[in-house]
């Protein structure tokens, strides 16, 4: 038994169809509980008023936007090293989800920034890095769409993902150098353990973060399954075309 | 490799449309800027370093799709992949040729265009230095983009979409060097960062370019 047996598309599909209902239920439950709890059952912040509640959408989306890219990076590496097709297809399936998460983070951030900072957009390091991440996602998806041969497309996008990761990190620090910003630092630093968010706001936020993580997992499993079936259908079509 | 460099340079000079075009494009972008933001000289002086850097970057980008596409069409690239010299070296040479025909003329032209934009006197040296240090990175990163999109029909727009995000760090440090220099501030830190980026990309990017080119041509 090793994890690599799920590189076999049949086994992967069997497992993913079995676990998907569970993950979907858990994801919907967590997101619903996190958001409803956050929106209706927590008090308004002393200074920020009700605007603080967008945090339950903004922070989890931003978290998953970055983690989706990490997942694509790992999947690309697995494809380049071990050449498992499921891995390449999972990277392909994750990209649009990542784009949507990035967009949610950017838009909710703008909606929050208007009353709080008095502006929809500032060229703050965090905001700018996210915009650049968004551009990287777009380029990645566009390259998948543009290359016709699926294996070549997987190769090229994987290398783009690796090179893009290096440049994304580089941009992150370059942008920091370029402009010090308005955005606050992280409120829930995992490494140091301390946090600047009160418990009433923190628990629904954690539930929402877990929910978004599960939602991402469910979406990626679902989309990967679709991609595998699509690949299978096109192979069948090609065979039928040859025989007739 | 010298033969390859000489061939690329000769092609760029004689085949028309390649060599002067980027320079002319740079000139036109810079000339259009005062029309779009107004002729106020203090405003122009403030944005001159950024505009010159952006213009140079776009002019570089413009000539990228010719970098490998013509060689792909007439089969030269297939020969290069099979040639006894390493493909990484061949691509470095092609990037060097691109820099000599595009980047270097831009570096030389930028101070002249700086006069048009009322660039402060202190900024000329820093602008030239930053472009000299930064444009090789643009060529090398651009070669990677060109190698990614070489087999794709109508890859020009895709090339810009892929390459421009990769240009962000270079642009930030380059324009920052020129801006600080023009304002009379200390500018050696961004210049050092810019040089670091250039050296790292020159050293590492050819490997990525060669890898994707092999994948794309397979």
Q: Please state the ipTM of this predicted complex.
A: 0.85
Work out how many domains chain B is built from and give that number. Answer: 1
**Helix-strand-coil split of chain A, %, nearest 5:** 80, 0, 20
Q: Model-level pTM? A: 0.86
Average pLDDT, rounded, for chain B: 87
> What does chain B look like in DSSP terms, one character per residue?
-HHHHHHHHHHHHHSSSSHHHHHHHHHHHHHHHHHHH-S-HHHHHHHHHHHHHHHHHHHHHHTTHHHHHHHHHTTHHHHHHHSSS-HHHHHHHHHHHHIIIIIHHHHHHHHHHHHHTT--TTHHHHHHHHHHHHHHHHHHHHHHHHHHTTTSTT-HHHHHHHHHHHHHHHHHHHHHHHHHHHTT---HHHHHHHHHHHHHHHHHHHHHHHHHHHHHH-
Give the tokens for residue A173. Answer: 């620090």
Q: Tell me whether residues A135 and B208 touch, CB distance under 8 A.
A: no
Q: What is the pLDDT of residue B77?
A: 85
Which of A143, A163, A174 shows the shortest C-beta gap to B172? Answer: A174
Q: Tell me whether residues A162 and B208 touch, CB distance under 8 A.
A: yes
Q: What is the domain extent for residue B90?
A: 2-217
Alpha carbon of A200: minimum distance to chain B alpha carbons (Å): 40
Q: Tell me whether residues A136 and B176 touch, CB distance under 8 A.
A: no
Residues of B with a Cβ under 8 Å from any A Cβ are 144, 148-149, 151-152, 155, 158, 161-162, 164-166, 168-169, 172-173, 176, 190, 193, 197, 205, 208, 211-212, 215-216, 218
pLDDT over 70 for what percent of chain B?
A: 98
Mutate to test the interface with A, among B161, B187, B197, B213 (most CBs of A within 10 A): B161
CA distance B51 to B44: 9
pLDDT at B154 over 80: no
Model confidence pLDDT, tens digit, residues B56-80: 999 888 888 778 888 888 888 888 8
Q: What is the pLDDT of residue A124?
A: 78
Give the count of beta carbons closer than 10 Å to the beta carbon of residue B198: 23
CA distance B188 to B8: 34
Alpha carbon of B209: minimum distance to chain A alpha carbons (Å): 9
Q: Which residues pair with A49 in a beta bridge?
A: A45
Q: What is the pLDDT of residue A221?
A: 92
Q: Tell me whether residues A167 and B212 touch, CB distance under 8 A.
A: no
Q: Which residue has the tokens 């028309």?
A: B16
Residue (of B120, B133, B129, B117) closest to B35 by Cα position: B117
Task: Say whether A110 sits in a helix, a strand or coil.
Answer: helix
Alpha carbon of A127: minimum distance to chain B alpha carbons (Å): 14
Q: What is the pLDDT of residue B75?
A: 83
- Please report how many Cα atoms fall inside a 13 Å half-sphere around the Cα of residue A28, on the Cβ side: 5
Alpha carbon of A198: minimum distance to chain B alpha carbons (Å): 37
Which of B152, B164, B173 shows the shortest C-beta gap to A147? Answer: B152
DSSP classification of residue A182: S
Which of B172, B205, B215 shows the shortest C-beta gap to A156? Answer: B215
pLDDT (tens, 9 = 90+) of chain A, 244 residues, equals 577 777 788 888 888 889 999 999 999 999 999 888 888 877 776 666 677 778 888 888 988 999 999 999 999 999 999 888 888 999 999 999 999 999 999 999 888 888 877 778 878 778 888 899 999 999 999 999 888 888 888 999 999 999 999 988 888 888 877 766 556 665 555 555 555 666 777 888 889 999 999 999 999 999 999 999 998 998 899 888 888 7
Size (chain B), residues: 218
């Amino acid at each position: 038994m090793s994890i690599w047996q799920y590189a076999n598309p049949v086994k992967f599909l069997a497992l993913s169809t079995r676990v998907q209902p569970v993950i979907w239920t858990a994801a919907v439950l967590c997101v619903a509980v996190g958001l409803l709890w956050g929106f209706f059952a927590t008090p308004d912040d002393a200074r920020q008023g009700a605007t603080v509640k967008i945090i339950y959408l903004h922070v989890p989306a931003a978290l998953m936007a970055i983690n989706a890219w990490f997942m694509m990076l790992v999947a690309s590496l697995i494809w380049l090293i071990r050449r498992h097709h499921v891995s390449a297809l999972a990277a392909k399936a994750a990209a649009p989800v990542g784009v949507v998460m990035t967009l949610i983070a950017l838009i909710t951030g703008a909606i929050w920034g208007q009353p709080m900072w008095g502006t929809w957009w500032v060229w703050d390091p965090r905001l700018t890095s996210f915009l650049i991440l968004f551009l990287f996602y777009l380029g990645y998806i566009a390259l998948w769409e543009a290359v016709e041969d699926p294996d070549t497309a997987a190769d090229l996008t994987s290398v783009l993902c690796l090179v893009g990761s290096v440049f994304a990190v580089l941009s992150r620090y370059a942008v920091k150098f370029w402009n010090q910003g308005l955005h606050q630092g992280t409120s829930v630093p995992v490494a140091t353990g301390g946090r600047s968010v009160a418990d009433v706001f923190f628990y629904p936020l954690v539930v929402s973060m877990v929910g978004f993580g599960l939602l991402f997992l469910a979406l990626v499993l679902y989309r990967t399954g679709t991609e595998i079936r699509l690949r299978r259908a096109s192979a069948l079509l090609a065979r039928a075309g040859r025989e007739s | 490799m010298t033969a390859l460099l000489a061939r690329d340079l000769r092609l760029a000079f004689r085949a028309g449309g390649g060599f002067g075009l980027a320079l002319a494009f740079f000139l036109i972008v810079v000339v259009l800027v005062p029309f779009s933001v107004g002729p106020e000289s203090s405003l122009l002086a403030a944005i001159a370093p950024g505009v010159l850097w952006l213009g140079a970057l776009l002019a570089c980008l413009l000539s990228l799709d010719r970098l490998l596409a013509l060689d792909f069409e007439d089969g030269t690239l297939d020969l290069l992949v099979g040639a006894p010299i390493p493909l990484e070296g061949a691509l470095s040479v092609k990037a060097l040729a691109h820099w000599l025909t595009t980047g270097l003329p831009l570096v030389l032209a930028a101070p002249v265009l700086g006069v048009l934009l009322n660039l402060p006197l202190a900024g000329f040296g820093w602008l030239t230095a930053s472009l000299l240090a930064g444009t090789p990175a643009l060529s090398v990163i651009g070669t990677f983009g060109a190698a990614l999109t070489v087999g794709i029909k109508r890859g020009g727009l895709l090339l810009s979409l892929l390459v421009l995000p990769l240009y962000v760090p270079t642009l930030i440090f380059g324009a920052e060097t020129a801006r600080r220099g023009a304002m009379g501030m200390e500018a050696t830190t961004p210049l050092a960062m810019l040089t670091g980026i250039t050296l790292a990309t020159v050293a590492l990017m050819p490997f990525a370019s060669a890898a994707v080119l092999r994948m794309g041509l397979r």
